[in-house]
Chains A and B, each alone.
Chain A
Amino acid sequence: MTTALDAPSRYLPRFHGVPLAWRNLFANKRRLLRSSAGIAFAALLMMVQLGFEQGFFDASLSAVRALDGDLFVFSAYKYRFGTRDPIEHGELDRVRAVGSIASAEPLYADWQEFFWTSPIDRKPYLVRIFAFDPDAPAVFSLSGIKDQQTLLKNDDAVLVDRNARAFLGMDGTAKEAELNGQRVEIAGGFTLGPDFMSDGTVVMSDRLFAKLLPGNQDSVANLPIEAVVIKLRSGEAVSAVQSALRAALPNTSSVMTKAEIVDFERKFQEELSSAGPIFWLGAIVGFVVGMLISYQVIYTDLSDQLPQYATLKAIGYKTSYLVRSVLRQAALSGLAGYVPAWLLCIAAYRIIGAFALLPLHMTLHLTVLTLGLTLGMCLLAAVLAVRRVISADPAEIF
């Protein structure tokens, strides 16, 4: 049996007739501005904090991401890529003896022994060094390194990170500098950026590395090999070669794909760095603040419109319709705050990123995550506030 009261839709206008949520939202422009400003700041806080978190990870992963190879061999004792722990020299020959390999090139690196005398204040600062044979196939995919690697054939030539911290003076016009007390020529630059450990990076040939590394006696053959960068012949299956390499090498060596090496580094950062929780805490605070603001806005709005809601109820609109309308309004106000926050955040990332030299980018992942959080906080606030509409009793209000 269907009565008129059970199905008010028969004669009452539906949502598509009257966009109730939309009109409520725009009824009071002043309040809309105020509420979206509040929600925007909460959203911005979440974006900035989560952006920092992502930026920190990206900064520490940028070097391994710049490596150009299908497989990498390095010491199994390494707890992270960025620490000195060379492999035995014999391993390189073992790697090269495995078939299906187009090239296997040693990568030399150092994080503790190279001091760059800044042209700015003439003081020595610890820098990160990567070195390789400039005649061999590229070991870095970073354009500034890959394209300019022939420049490294010149005596004493180095490439420097133009994105290094400013006090190192690598971004400027300096044509030469000092590394470990010896003059080097700045042949060109690339853009990598600093991470937790290193303020700047210098790339050089294996010969120059052998000359500058303390206690090495200028011999390339004796250099500590930090990793072997392997490229496969086209058409070879990575996993098959990886297994072959594992079989050929002692268990003191790890064989990883690029994705695995990035994961390995990320895992170390997640376990040991306290940056993650700090930024998540900030994001949670943003969420709570946003929820409070949103709740307050919705609650006030509902209180003001309670007679209207009660009237709608009295003429037969179902509570569920009104609740949906409130939730829709909350979601719309969330969007109204989110869009300006998103735009502001891009500007904030540019400014903060330039100062802190952190790779802050508005990625799709961050966009989706923060949009979800913003809508979540608004809807949660609406759910808490909407009880007022549910309990709105026409008889009481008038």
Chain B
Amino acid sequence: MLAIGGVFIAILLVFIELGFFIAVPQGGMLVYDHLRFDLLLCSKNYAFQAEPWQFPRTRLTDAAKAPGISQVTPLFFAGAKWQEPKGGDRLDAFVIGFDPAAKPFAVTDIERQTATLAQPDTVLVDDATRSLFGPLAASTEVLLDNHKVTIGGDYTLGTGFLGMAVAIMNETNFFRLFAPRTADIVNLGLITLTPGTDLETAAATLSKALPDDVQVFTRDGVKHHEDKYWTTRTSVGLIFGSGLIISFIVGIMVLYQTLATQISRHLPQFATLKAIGYGHHYLAAVVMIEAAMIVLVAFVPAAVAALAIYAQLRSATLLPVVLTTQRLIAVLVITLLMSAASAFLSLSNLRRADPADVF
């Protein structure tokens, strides 16, 4: 029972570290996952979503003329100081301007509130906006860069890695707020293709047709880019990567400890088996099987506990941290490998099982 408890903790540790490790890049993709596009047009200087740089809108209108393009729509990003009208801290909020008619957001809360967005100086706020930004109820007034705006309502998407608060507004309101900025310079361009158009061909055609101050990403391409940015350019990936490695090592230690204890405890029995003629290989096989069985028995509750923890992680971060079958099998294989490694390590104890010594 104790052995299983130890292995349970070891497997759970692997699950938790894995959860963090996969959650991090997904934070960078959260908003993209809720945008409608087949191809993403962005500056060649694009760093990551919250630092996309900018490019002339004409690139987007030119792109629209290419064959197979169904719709293009720009997104405008800005940072604004958010303050409650009664005073208090001026906090940093991330603001997105867009054309609601183009329906770039695949978020029902946003589509439902298109009429609200049309009202002057009205914003919708992400309900994951941190509590320190004050009440977010509809018709609350706040100051954005010292302009009074009204919160028209909220939506559930998640702030991802955009910041502590995200507000969205229609283009007209956006440019009134951020005057003298104009719609001639855009941050991102969302391109949808007509059904049946080949994705890769369209991407290649577009990037050839457009000047090299912009680049074209497919959805997979942007995912790859964001993953790479967060796991290699920031310390986040390294920290959780090293956590994952440490969790493996600790797991092996616990398993080895458990198995070695089991063997030394049953040394007389093993010695007896040896004495009555069972070979070392047979006994080794018994240890291996025992190791595998301990892992299997501990794996089930660990997976269940991991499901609960992932659910917590999901509701806390709104990131799609999911325990897919693939990941489940991966962890199972890894723990079986860990148990094989530790069983192998503990076999040396078995060699000592000398019937003459034990009794």
Interface residues of A (CB under 8 A from B): 31, 34-35, 37-38, 41-42, 44-45, 48-49, 52, 75, 77-79, 83, 85, 112, 123-126, 165, 167, 194, 199, 271-272, 274, 278, 281-282, 285-286, 288-289, 292-293, 295-297, 299-300, 303-304, 352, 355-358
Asked whether B53 is an interface residue with its Cβ less than 8 Å from the other chain, the reply is yes
A41→B2 contact, CB < 8 A: no
Which residues of the partner chain A approach B88 to less than 8 Å between Cβ atoms?
Answer: 77
Asked whether B243 is an interface residue with its Cβ less than 8 Å from the other chain, the reply is yes
Provide the bound-state CA to CA distance between A296 and B10, in Å.
14
Q: Which of A112, A278, A296 has the most CB of B within 10 A?
A: A296
Asked whether B64 is an interface residue with its Cβ less than 8 Å from the other chain, the reply is no
Tell me what chain B mostly uses at the interface: helix, strand, loop, or mixed.
helix
Which residues of the partner chain A approach B44 to less than 8 Å between Cβ atoms?
Answer: 123
B258→A296 contact, CB < 8 A: yes
B2→A271 contact, CB < 8 A: no
A165→B254 contact, CB < 8 A: no
Provide the bound-state CA to CA distance between A238 and B69, in Å.
67
Provide the bound-state CA to CA distance between A293 and B45, in Å.
51
B10→A358 contact, CB < 8 A: no
B9→A41 contact, CB < 8 A: no
A48, A85, A125, A296: the one contacting B90 at CB < 8 Å is: A85
Known: A77-B90, A79-B89, A296-B2. A41 touches B243 (CB 8 A): no
**In which size bucket is the chain B interface?**
35 or more
Tell me what chain A mostly uses at the interface: helix, strand, loop, or mixed.
helix
B 40-54 binary contact with A (CB < 8 Å = 1; else 0): 000011010001010
B51→A357 contact, CB < 8 A: no
A45→B246 contact, CB < 8 A: yes
B 161-191 binary contact with A (CB < 8 Å = 1; else 0): 0001000000000000000000000000000
A278→B20 contact, CB < 8 A: yes
Known: A79-B89, A271-B132, A296-B258. A289 touches B233 (CB 8 A): no
B6→A293 contact, CB < 8 A: yes
A272→B6 contact, CB < 8 A: no
B 3-40 binary contact with A (CB < 8 Å = 1; else 0): 10110011011001100100000000000000000000
The chain B residue with its CB closest to the CB of A355 is B238
Which residues of the partner chain B approach A44 to less than 8 Å between Cβ atoms?
Answer: 246
Provide the bound-state CA to CA distance between A296 and B346, in Å.
15
11 extra interchain contacts, Cβ-Cβ under 8 A, other than A79-B91, A125-B47, A289-B254? Answer: A35-B257, A38-B257, A78-B90, A126-B51, A167-B233, A271-B132, A274-B317, A289-B6, A289-B250, A293-B257, A296-B257
B239→A356 contact, CB < 8 A: yes
Which residues of the partner chain B approach A272 to less than 8 Å between Cβ atoms?
Answer: 130, 132, 164
> What are 23 A-B contacts defined by CB distance under 8 Å?
A41-B253, A45-B250, A48-B242, A75-B90, A77-B89, A79-B89, A123-B47, A124-B53, A125-B47, A167-B233, A271-B132, A272-B132, A272-B164, A285-B13, A292-B6, A292-B9, A293-B253, A296-B2, A296-B3, A296-B6, A300-B265, A352-B242, A357-B235
Known: A42-B250, A44-B246. A85 touches B5 (CB 8 A): no
A38→B254 contact, CB < 8 A: yes
Asked whether B260 is an interface residue with its Cβ less than 8 Å from the other chain, the reply is yes
Which residues of the partner chain B approach A35 to less than 8 Å between Cβ atoms?
Answer: 257
Known: A272-B164, A296-B6. A78 touches B250 (CB 8 A): no
A324 to chain B, nearest CB (A): 24
B 196-240 binary contact with A (CB < 8 Å = 1; else 0): 000000000000000000000000000000000000010100110
